[in-house]
Structure 1
Amino acid sequence: MASSTLGRKLVACLLNVSEARRKDLVETVAKAALYSTEGVRREGTTVLNIFNDHDYNRSVITIVASIDSIREAVLSACEEACGLIDMHAHTGVHPCMGAVDLIPIYPLGDEVGVKDCAQEALAVAQGLTERVQGTSAFLFGWVDSPLQRGLAQRRKEMGWFKKTPDLGAIRSDIGPRPQKRYGLTGVGASPYVMNCNVTIDTQDVTMGHSIAAAIRESTPGGLPGVQVLALPHEGTVEIACNVESVKGNPSSPLTDEPWPSFSIDGQPYSHAPASLITARVAELAGRQGVGVKGTALVGFTPHECRGLAEFALSQGIAEFWKEQYRIRM
């Protein structure tokens, strides 16, 4: 059966929603990606993972479908989320601006090109603002034409990193000025971005900020593709990393091993491995007498995401997040 998924033009959307404390609500959003309002299953679509974080009050839902099916799956989930999440009532330590905070679309193989993903991301942004009146979006990555600004730059321009963003001062790319009820949603397409969070055994957020600054891509000697925040988390500090895929195949600054790689439109990309990020954080924290408590991947590596999606789709498993721990053991 698995062979039937080979050649499928698969893409992933790691949908970020600003709710985690009501897990049943988040599951309702995930199921909206999989089933029509009449309860009919959307063929060729699976939700691989739901990551909830109570302190952040943020969840990441990993939706995988063919490039032809991803739009309706994502828009249906977004409609559900906007109906259930009111940003007037939201609290959490992680920065956010929207009920649906982020809609990134990533190709899962050479079968899907940059242009395809950009077109679908733009259609999702337009569809969201049309279906849910009052929503608005900014664009990043391949869909931000012609500048193709990255997510970190666009978030900074929009005020995402501020404790209380001034929505009234923001000009969205699509839709009206952001309203508090729904906030502002980032929509884009890019090579796959992993989320890798390393917990250090301290409550000293200032120390966390110094470690984050040292490994951030923009710092000399930092890790390529790594964007970082340091946040208080469950009585410790979490070094929360967005690990962007970068062109080429650099070697690790700590080892000579090549980074995990894949290609898009024939162009090679690679990403810093979680083991390297953990080692670097452990080294920097250790200099200050602090240990590392653990590392969590929010979802999967690009290779894992594709492999599990092919398996889930070949077996007809829609709600894979309920099965993954049994299957992966």
Structure 2
Amino acid sequence: MSSSRLGLRLAACLLNISEARRKHIVEKIAKAALLEKKGQRHPEVSVLNIFSDQDYNRSVITIAASIDELGNSVLAACLETFQSVNMEVQEGIHPCLGAVDLIPIYPLCGVGVEECGAVARNLAESLILHVPGCSVFLFGEADLPAKRSLVQRRKQLGWFTRRDFSALERDLGATPARRCGLTGVGASPYVMNCNVTIDSEDLALGKEIASAIRGSNVNGLKGVQAMAFPHEGKIEIACNVESFEAHSTAETYKDSQYMVYTVLGNRFSYVSPQYIETRVRELAREKGLSTLGKALIGFTPEECKNCAEHAIRENIGEFWKTREGVFM
């Protein structure tokens, strides 16, 4: 049965928090997203997945809900995070600016990206009211009128190297408290996260491969942003996979390089995680190296929609517990 026939208007938040090493804390944050103010579980909210990385000390919690409930659900998870995570002592390989580092809102079905942007802006305003010392930068559909991308905002803020919170230029809130840091809030078409590990400890080589596959490179992969990090004794190529506008129908299906997702009649095209892995493997092979597999952090857009519909239709709040390999 289609989502329209089910009457569902769903969106998702891939909540990025700067904690992974204390599993009980991460689960407590995830469970907070499921509860109404009176402590009862909300039937229109589900936590679909938890992806935690020990080296990065970062978790991505996939929260799906009706568009009318998602903001409150994410706010509850953020409040729990700010109580439990202290940026003054946080350590990890992955760049981060805040205890709640990133709050991206994505449409799944029956909802447009503009409406997700309105939810994100309201959520940002609620955060600074509820959390003393919380500060926010906006991106995408929440950043009006400029609609600057997350990549643009991170570069402007020095996300890759900055830990001097007092010098950060926020959009909302007071000067960032050292405990809280700075939180990014925004909305866009769904963004996938895909990591590929190469069998090497050479970070310079990893950065060379990451540069080669970036969409900004003339021979790179459309919509792909990539960084290289030391990870579990090897080098991981971490990719954000954004949608792009295809110039032809043939382009979106060529050699299974691409996948298409449609929301409210709008078509969004993506490079497939499988093709990203293939391309990284080819580049590694040129250096005499092999790859050690890939990890999709969460879901493709279609998978996320299907899981969200099933979880909410069947009233499964802790959907992540039905999946294997949650803490990867």
For 1:135-171, what per-residue CA distance to the aligned partner results, in whole angstroms no more than 9, with x for missing partners? 0000001111111111111011011011x43322212
Q: Which moved more, 1:116-125 or 1:29-38?
A: 29-38
* Structural mapping, 1:255-294, within 5 Å: 255-257=254-256, 259-294=258-293
Residue 231 of structure 1 aligns to a residue whose secondary structure is strand
Provide the rounded CA distance (Å) in 2 between the counterparts of 1:5 and 1:82.
39
2:176 matched to 1:181?
A: no
CA contact 1:249–1:259 (8 Å) conserved in 2:
no
Q: Counterpart of 1:299?
A: 298
Deviations 1:74-126 (A, max 9, x none): 000000000000001100000000000000000002x1112211110000111
- Which amino acid letter does the alignment assign opposite residue 26 of structure 1? V
CA-to-aligned-CA distance 1:196-227 (integer Å, 9 cap, x gap)? 00000000000000000000011111111101
Please tell me the residue identity of whatever aligns with 1:35.
L
* Structure 1 unaligned blocks of 5 or more: none
Within a 5 Å distance, the mapping from 1:154-173 to structure 2 comes to 154-162=153-161, 164-173=162-171
Q: Return the alpha-carbon distance in structure 1 between the equivalents of residues 92 and 3 of structure 2.
A: 43
Q: Distance in 1 between matches of 2:108 and 2:98?
A: 26
Alignment of 1:88-99 (within 5 A): 88-99=88-99
User: Sequence identity of aligned pairs in percent?
Assistant: 52
- Is the contact between residue 36 and residue 42 of structure 2 (CA under 8 Å) also seen in structure 1? yes
Contact 1:249/1:258, CA 8 A, preserved across alignment = no
Matches of 1:156 and 1:270, distance apart in 2: 25
Pair 249,271 (structure 1): closer, same or farther in 2 beyond 3 Å: farther
Q: CA RMSD, aligned part only?
A: 2.0
By how many angstroms is 1:258 displaced?
A: 6.3
Query: Which residue does 2:244 correspond to in 1?
Result: 246
The corresponding residue for 1:14 is 14
Q: CA deviation at 1:39?
A: 2.8
Three-state SS of the structure 1 residue aligned to 2:306 is helix
TM normalised by structure 2 equals 0.94
Distance in 2 between the 1:200 and 1:74 partners?
Answer: 34
1:177 Cα deviation from its structure 2 partner: 1.8
Distance 1:8 1:253, change over 3 A: closer
Matches for 1:1-329 after TM superposition, within 5 Å: 6-36=6-36, 38-109=38-109, 111-162=110-161, 164-248=162-246, 255-257=254-256, 259-325=258-324
Residues 88 and 178, structure 2, Cα contact 8 Å, conserved in 1: yes
1:252: Cα distance to partner?
A: 6.6
Asked whether the 8 Å contact 1:249–1:270 carries over to 2, the reply is no
Measure how far apart 1:37 and its partner are: 5.5
Q: Partners of 1:219 and 1:313 in 2: how far apart?
A: 40
1:68–1:249 Cα change, 3 Å: farther
Q: Check whether the contact 1:18–1:99 (CA below 8 A) recurs between aligned residues.
A: yes
Residue 267 of structure 1: CA displacement? Answer: 2.6
> In the aligned structure 2, how far is the partner of 1:165 from the partner of 1:89?
12
Shift of 1:40: 0.5
The amino acid that maps onto 1:257 is S
Code of the residue aligned with 2:203 in structure 1: it is V
The residue matched to 2:102 in structure 1 has which SS?
strand
CA drift of 1:20 comes to: 0.1
Give the CA deviation at 1:19: 0.2
CA contact (8 A) 1:2 1:311 kept: no
**AA aligned opposite 1:284:** L
Q: How much has 1:63 moved relative to structure 2? A: 0.1
Residue pair 2:211, 2:217 contacting (<8 A) in 1 also:
yes
Say which SS state the counterpart of residue 116 (structure 1) adopts: helix
Structure 2: segments with no counterpart, 5+ residues: none
Distance 1:96 1:272 in 2: 26
CA distance in 1, matches of 2:55, 2:61: 17
C-alpha separation in 2, matches of 1:322 and 1:252: 37
Q: Residue 3 of structure 1: CA displacement?
A: 7.4
**Aligned partner letter, 1:292:** T
Larger displacement relative to structure 2 (253-262 or 34-43): 253-262
